[in-house]
């Protein structure tokens, strides 16, 4: 049986462009993105994506120089989250979690 969040996480992953490089062993990260899709739909921001990544990294006990608030990241680092936000938006539209309905 496919759980709805797993299905949404897989859809989000499938909608990433080939240039996106998700980290390995990241199923829990994409589950977080699926929660964002259900909670915020097309209103999900790149800052939200970053926050989900930070939470995932902290849960794994990892340290990284990007474990700072989104606004403290360089423009290049912030831009890395755009592909994930776009994929979440596309998945939200498929599931009809559009901003106008939330």
Q: What is the pLDDT of residue 38?
A: 95
Indicate the number of domains in the chain. 1
Segments in the chain below pLDDT 70:
1, 98-102
Domain that holds residue 95: 4-15+24-101
CA angle 94, 32, 70 (to 5 degrees): 105
CA nearest to 92, candidates 7, 1, 12, 25 = 12
- The length of the chain in residues reads 102
87 burial type by CB count under 10 A (0-12 exposed, 13-18 middle, 19+ buried) = buried
pTM value is 0.91
* Model pLDDT, residue 85: 98
Could you report the per-residue pLDDT of 2-20, keeping only the tens digit for each? Answer: 799 999 999 999 999 999 9
Please give the structure tokens belonging to residue 25: 């062993």
**25 and 64 in contact (C-beta within 8 Å)?**
no
- pLDDT score recorded for residue 100: 61
């Amino acid at each position: 049986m496919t759980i709805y969040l797993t299905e949404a996480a897989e859809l989000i992953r499938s909608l990433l462009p080939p240039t996106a490089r998700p980290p390995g062993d990241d199923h829990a990260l994409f589950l977080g993105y699926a929660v964002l899709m259900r909670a915020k739909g097309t209103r999900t921001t790149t800052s939200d994506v970053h926050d989900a990544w930070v939470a995932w990294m902290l849960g794994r006990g990892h340290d990284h120089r990007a474990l700072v608030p989104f606004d403290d990241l360089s423009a290049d680092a912030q831009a890395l989250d755009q592909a994930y936000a776009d994929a979440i938006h596309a998945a939200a539209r498929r599931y009809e979690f559009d901003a106008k309905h939330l």
